[in-house]
Each structure stands twice: as structure tokens, then as C-alpha cells.
Structure 1
Amino acid sequence: MPFVTSHLPYAPGRVGMFVHPKHRRGPAHDHNENDITQRPMATWKSYARIILAHVSLIVLSVVYVGFGAFLFYQLEQPNEVEVRARNIERFHVHKRQMIEHLWEMRSSGIGQHVVEDMAVKYVDNVTRILFEAFDTHCIAAKHLRPGGENEDYNWTYMTALFFTTTLLTTIGYGNLTPVTGRGKFLCILYALFGVPLILITVADIGKFLSENIVQLYKWYTKLREQLTRKSDYTPISQKDEEKRKGHQMDIPDLDSYVSIPIFLIVTILLGYITLGAVILAMWEGWDFFSGFYFSFITMTTVGFGDIVPVKREYYILDLCYIIIGLSITTMCIDLVGIQYIQKMHYFGRAIKDARFALVNVGGKMVHVPDLMRYASVLQQKYGQKKVHDTIVVKGAYAPKDLSKIRFIDFGALASMESWQSLWSILTGRTQEVHV
């Protein structure tokens, strides 16, 4: 059975499979080692394979959010209808009883203080009924006014969609929550699988945006360098060019690494928040600061819930703004994190490779660890000189006559040769070490 190997030389536009000579049919001398057994893949197919995974993830997330909204709507909306009707009827019945009873007491000639005491009891009961009705999260003051039965319910499909999106993005405003036992159980089970899915989707979109921002910044940098080179051209000698390339080869992937300014990243994030603040202030009737506050709390997934959108006709636009904003926030975090991780990576490698560095001491090349050992020994042996001759400081000691030491070998690095060189210094004997 043919197998795929990863040791083929790369040829642009040639995608195929390498067949081992043992598995080929016919004489071995009739075939080349790099025979291609498949036709080259079309460009649109290669791009389609890359894009299909990302698009499938987004489609899966949208379907998951929409299906969850349908489930929550089916579970919570009937309960809201029943609870609202029962509590509104209870309130109106108690109000009618209070009016009729007080009117009968007044008409029968009962004393004024008795009527007032009864009125106080009825008012206390009405207050208790109102608080119990409001605690159900299904009734507000507008539902108790005349015609309140015709007000929109809290649980509609659109509000359920808004709820599932804010739930899975971990924003959680708290203005709409499930109150039934089945709804709460579904919320736990639904978020258990949905939160990782949505976070992965948002991170994937953020990664896509960050890569495109890096690519755009690369083009901008190259264009700026070309314009600068044309305006201020200075000839560079061949030796300087080779020296510059040699320095660049010291750091891996230097050409592919682009450092985007932090100021630009912060500007992108604050600019998007400001744009959202202006738009939300227009269609929600907020002031600019309230819109900016809501946008910032949303983009950071804090979600206090003290300010939430109420215009349901704009909920779809609100959700699009939230998802794109979370992706931009992820993009900014990714760009900043990549820069600091890259810097720490190179810094750590520089510290790790510092012990292999060579220092020219008196015409001799010495490794840094050996130089520190020699300096320590010389500090102990010659460190107690006169004050006017040498200044004694706390730490490593570097004598002025270090260049006169000619027994430091080139290849000594924490090895037996280092100990031999150290022994030759202490005993004063000359011992050449062959490198």
C-alpha cells in the first residue's frame, strides 16, 4: 500500500504522493524517485480547505446559539405567561376587595379610626403582593397599569437569542434569567458545552484578524521603507550588506517577526468602543458616556447589567457589535501577548547562550564562566591591595593586569581544560592546552 512521506523536495504547485519503490509496479529503473502520482490541486480547492474549517466553526456556533434560544423560549415563555396572568389577577382582585370593603364600612357609619386602620392593612397587603409579583421577574410596573396585559413578554425568541449569546460569551448581564427548574438545568448543560465552543470561535476570529493586521502592517512598513529609500538613498557597500545579513541570521525568523506598536493596538480597541458608544447612544437614547461605559464593560466581558439595550428591534445589530468587539479585543490581546512572549523567548535564549560567549582578554579568547572564575580567584588573591591602588567594591573584581595572563585557553568551558588552566594560574606553571 503506498504511503505518504514528508521528505519530498518542495515544488510550488505540485501536490502529490510519493510511492515507495518496493510498492511500484514494473521495473524500478523506469521510475523516478520523485514521481507525482496525483494531479496538482486547484488553487481554489486549497483555499477552500483552509477556509472551510473556520466557516464550519462559525456556522456551528450560530446554529448552537439559535437552537439554544429556541429551547429557552419554549421552556420559559409559557411559565412567564402563567405567572404574569396569575399575579395581575391577584393584584386586581385585592384592589377591588379593598375599595368595596372600605366603601361598605364608610356607608355603614363605622368610626373613622376603624376605617383608617383597615385601609392601612389593605395597603400593606397590596405592597406585599406587589413585591411578590416583582420577585417573579415576570412583572414590572407597566404591566399593572390599564392595558398592561398587552405588553410584550420578557421571553421572546429575540430576547432568548440575546440571552444565549451573552450567556455563552460569559458577559451575562443578568437582566433576563431562567426561573424554572428545567430552564436552570438546561442553562447549566447548555453553557457547559457552549461556552468553550463560542470562546474558541471568538478566538479563531480574533486570530484571523490579528494575522491580517500583521500582514497589513508588514505592507505598510515595506511601503514606508521603499518611500524612505527613494527619498534618502545612500549607497551601501557589499561588506556592510553582508555584515547586516549576518547579524540578521543570528536571530531565527527575524524577517517574519513584526512588532506592532502598542499605541496602534490600543487605538484600534478604543476606536471601536468609541464607535459603538456613538451608535448605541443614537438608537438607545443614551448619552455618549453611558454608551462608552456599556461598550467597555461589554468588551471586557464584565457585564454588570446596570445598563443594557432595551430596543429589541436593534438586538441583532447589538449582537453583531458584541461578537465583533470581542473578536477585536481577543485580537489586541493576542498581538500584545505575542510581542511580549517573543521578547521573553529571545531574552531567555540570550541568557541561556551567554555562557558560550567569548571575551577577548589580552589577546586570548575566554568564555564568560571561566572569566568569572578567574576574576573570583584573583579577587581572593589580590583583592587586599592598598586603597590608593585599587578601589575595593562589593562584587566581582577585575584587576588591571588581567591582560598579562597568557595561560587562558580558548576552548575552556566548565571542563577539565578549565581546571587545568586554573591550576596553571595558581601554581605559576605553563601548561599549553591543545584545542
Structure 2
Amino acid sequence: MAKGFVSKAKSVIGKFYHGLKSLTGLIILLMIYSFTGAVIFVHVETPHQEELPLAKEPKQKNLVQLLLNLTVSLNSTEFEKVRNEIITLINIFDAETFEKMHGKRWDFWKALFFCGTIYTAIGYGDIYPRTDAGKVIAILYAIFGIPLAFRVLAEIGKKLTTVIKFFYFGVKRSCAKKVQTADGETLKNERNDVALSIEHTEKEKNEIEIVWEDKDEKLKKEIENSLPLAVPVIILFVYLVLGAFMYTRWEDWSYLDAFYFTFISVSTIGFGDITPAHTKYFIVTSIYVFVGLALVSVCINVFMEFYIVSIKVAAHRMNRVGSKIIKGCHCCSRRQSL
């Protein structure tokens, strides 16, 4: 009975672990991690945030009274008008100064956005923990969150690379079928980033030549299946352009400011000088930035594939040249012996 229960428990745990390792499981885990972090930061930081306005109220009243004393010569109507204008200006100034000195005010959506800036390593700096507990939690949150987020980005990057390759080579094949020569033969619209020089002679091929030609064919297939680096770079650029247009509709930004924000965010520079003001779009911003980072991951994957293939081709060329030199030396030694 006990053994059966243990085996079932192991089976359930194994399935659960296997599910977590999948892309869907990782995304769900990251979402839970994000929402949990947002709740914790709001719970820790909000009480401290509410204490700050109470501390500044006496100073604010003293400043209003001082300015009103300078307007004693005004009649009651003018006095009331000036008083209201002074209070409005002080409140505006106070709100701007508060954000510069203490960061933006915490709420759930801003806390959720803040969690995203931690584990993506962007860190805008416009909202940050002010309590000691919040700072410690932020450190721990980054330690566990950054590896998790990077794992998710790597997995999404692999999937996106596969999808982009599928569409790219599908379009390439369809275009190749439409292009025909004068004799009616199909032209192969193939892209060779790395040129392989394969010399064929009319002589009977020996075993060594056959081996080299097999390696040539394998490398040619690897080159043909490699995605050009320009493709994901162009897709990423279009993504930034469209994102910038989206932000010009949501925020009071020029197109240059919007494109600047999308580029700074996706490149993880995150200066924090320009950030979205509307909290209702924070989730969309988080998703947009995360997908952008996944496209950056695609660019890195494609570059690494191209780099590895280039190294293989260079090594193949060197080995083949070395083989020819050795073969030539053997031929020379045989002639000399004769």
C-alpha cells in the first residue's frame, strides 16, 4: 500500500516537473512569480508611501500661509483666487518633486511592471523600493527571477526561430518554383553565405575524395538551412517601429521619443527618463518588451548558428588543404624514389 502511494507520488511529481520544463509551464511559472512579487512589493512599500505625505503637510501649510501674507492688500475675491492658484501650483510642484525624490507611487500595476523590470534587467529606476525590507526582497527577487526569465526568453527565442525559418524557407521555395530558365528548368534561389569551392576531376574518385565530398554535402545542407541574420534583424526593427507608433497613440509622446523608449527598453539599457504614464497599459508594455527581448534572443541564436557554421567551413577548408598538401608530398616522395 505504502509502495503504491510512493510510486504514484513519484509519478505525479515527475509529470509536474516535466510540465514545468515545457515552455507553457515556464510561462505560467513566470506569471505566478510576477503577480506574487507585485503583491509582496505593494504590501511592503505602500505603508511607507502613505507616511510621506503626512510628514510634508505642516511644511506645505506654512508655505501657503507665507505666500498669503504677501497678498494682504487684496480684496476677498482676489485673495481667494490667488489662494486657490497658489495651492494648485504647490500641489503640482509637490507631485513632481515627490516622484523625483521618492519615485512613483506604488500600486499593483506599477508593482507588477517593476517586477518585470527586475527580472529582465532593464531597471528603469522611476519606481524603486524605499524600505529596507523592500530592498532585501528586490535582491532576492532578482537572484531567482533573472535566471527564470532568461530561460523563458531562450525557449521563446528557439520557438520563434523555428517559426521564422518555416515561413522564410517556405516563401523561398515558392519563389524558386516560379522562377524558370529558358529551357524550362527550375532555378534554385539558394543563398550561400559561405562559399565552398569543390573541385571535381574526371579521374576515378578514391575513398578520401568521397569522404571529403560527403562532408561538403553536409556543410552545404547546413548553410542552406541557416537563416540569414538580416531576417530577424529586420523583423526586430519593424517590431520597434510598430511599437513606437503604438505608444504615440497611448502616451503624449513624439514618434522619436516613442521609438527611443522601445529601443532603450528592448536593448535593456532602461535609462528611465521616459516611461509610460498610464497604468492600464503596463501589462501590455510588459508583454511588448518581453516579446521584443525574445526577438533579440532570435537574433543571437541566428548569429550563433552562422558563427558555428562559419567555423565548420573554415576548419573543413583547412583540413582539405592540409590533406592535399600531404597527398602532394606523398606523390613527390614516390616520384623521387622511382
**Is the pair's TM-score, using the shorter chain for normalization, greater than 0.5?**
yes
Out of 181, 187, 202, the position equivalent to 2:132 is: 181
Is the Cα contact below 8 Å between 2:228 and 2:302 reproduced in 1? no
Q: Which amino acid aligns with 1:408?
A: S
Q: Secondary structure at the match of 2:164?
A: helix
In the TM superposition, residue 297 of structure 1 has moved relative to its aligned partner by 0.9
Q: Which amino acid aligns with 1:265?
A: P
Residues 1:408 and 2:301 are matched in the alignment: no
The aligned counterpart of 1:283 is 250
Out of 57, 62, 80, the position equivalent to 1:94 is: 62
**How many angstroms apart in 2 are the aligned matches of 1:218 and 1:78?**
56
**How many angstroms apart in 1 are the aligned matches of 2:182 and 2:19?**
41
Is the Cα contact below 8 Å between 2:233 and 2:299 reproduced in 1? yes
The aligned counterpart of 2:264 is 297
Q: Secondary structure at the match of 1:226?
A: helix
Written as runs of structure 1 = structure 2, the 5 A alignment for 1:56-205 is 56-87=25-56, 89-95=57-63, 98=66, 136-137=101-102, 154-205=105-156
**How many angstroms apart in 1 are the aligned matches of 2:186 and 2:267?**
50
**How many angstroms apart in 2 are the aligned matches of 1:235 and 1:198?**
46
Greater C-alpha radius of gyration: 1
CA shift in 2, pair 1:216/1:187, >3 Å: same
**How many angstroms apart in 2 are the aligned matches of 1:100 and 1:228?**
83
Q: Which amino acid aligns with 1:95?
A: L
CA shift in 2, pair 1:302/1:132, >3 Å: closer
CA shift in 2, pair 1:303/1:103, >3 Å: closer
Moved more, 214-223 or 182-191: 214-223
In the TM superposition, residue 206 of structure 1 has moved relative to its aligned partner by 1.0
Residues 1:250 and 2:216 are matched in the alignment: yes
In the TM superposition, residue 102 of structure 1 has moved relative to its aligned partner by 8.1
In the TM superposition, residue 299 of structure 1 has moved relative to its aligned partner by 1.1
The gaps in structure 1 that reach 5 residues or longer are 1-48, 107-125, 139-152, 360-364, 371-405, 410-420, 426-430
In the TM superposition, residue 99 of structure 1 has moved relative to its aligned partner by 6.2
Q: Per residue, is there more helix in 1 or in 2?
A: 2
**How many angstroms apart in 2 are the aligned matches of 1:331 and 1:133?**
40
The aligned counterpart of 2:279 is 312
Q: TM-score scaled by structure 2?
A: 0.72
**How many angstroms apart in 1 are the aligned matches of 2:138 and 2:145?**
10
**How many angstroms apart in 1 are the aligned matches of 2:186 and 2:70?**
104
Residues 1:224 and 2:175 are matched in the alignment: yes
The gaps in structure 2 that reach 5 residues or longer are 1-17, 74-89, 188-201
The aligned counterpart of 2:7 is none
Out of 54, 59, 81, the position equivalent to 2:23 is: 54
Q: Which amino acid aligns with 2:155?
A: D
Is the Cα contact below 8 Å between 1:248 and 1:254 reproduced in 2? no
CA shift in 2, pair 1:247/1:234, >3 Å: farther
Q: Which amino acid aligns with 1:65?
A: S
In the TM superposition, residue 229 of structure 1 has moved relative to its aligned partner by 4.6
Q: Which amino acid aligns with 1:345?
A: K
- Larger RCO (CA under 8 A, 6+ residues apart): 2
In the TM superposition, residue 267 of structure 1 has moved relative to its aligned partner by 1.4
In the TM superposition, residue 247 of structure 1 has moved relative to its aligned partner by 4.6
Aligned length: 280
Q: Secondary structure at the match of 2:328?
A: strand
**How many angstroms apart in 2 are the aligned matches of 1:287 and 1:267?**
23
Is the Cα contact below 8 Å between 2:229 and 2:299 reproduced in 1? no
